[in-house]
């Protein structure tokens, strides 16, 4: 009897696994989030990213409000079985709730966090 692929993952005590979303073409890291067993199973079934929102304590379908969904093209598990990498196609070109392409838009320069990426769309126009 084989072990379910979900059981091969090293889940945190809270039943979560960290997830990195990466653009499948450019290789750019777009965001980091968490998944539960249910959200990962739904991601596999729907081929669109479904995360677990720790702040809202519920499933979060990426793009449910903004329309900026993430089509999942590949799911990879790291060598320690404790981090998931999603290779995705970012719909609308915006992954961050700040209206930027990536959530990683600040760089440490001379001891200060400097914004290095422009806002592509005002968040007030994205979220109602």
- Give the model's pLDDT for residue 29: 98
Contact 62, 71 (CB under 8 A): no
DSSP-assigned letter for residue 4: P
- Give the model's pLDDT for residue 97: 94
- Give the model's pLDDT for residue 128: 75
- Give the model's pLDDT for residue 127: 86
- For 58-83, letters b (16+ CB in 10 Å) and e give eebbbbeebebbbbbeebeeeeeeeb
Q: Which residues of the chain have pLDDT under 50?
A: 1
What class has domain 5-94? alpha beta
Distance CA 3, CA 8 (A): 7
- Give the model's pLDDT for residue 1: 38
């Amino acid at each position: 009897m084989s072990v379910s692929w979900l059981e091969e993952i090293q889940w945190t005590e809270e039943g979560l696994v960290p997830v990195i979303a990466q653009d499948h073409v450019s290789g750019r890291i777009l965001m980091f989030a968490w998944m539960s067993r249910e959200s990962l199973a739904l991601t596999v079934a729907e081929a669109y990213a479904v995360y677990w929102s720790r702040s809202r304590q519920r499933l979060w379908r990426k793009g449910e409000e903004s329309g900026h969904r993430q089509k999942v093209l590949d799911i990879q598990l790291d060598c320690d079985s404790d981090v998931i990498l999603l290779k995705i196609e970012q719909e609308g070109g915006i992954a961050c709730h700040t209206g930027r392409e990536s959530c990683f838009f600040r760089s440490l320069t001379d001891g200060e966090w400097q914004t290095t990426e422009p806002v592509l769309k005002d968040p007030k126009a994205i979220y109602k």
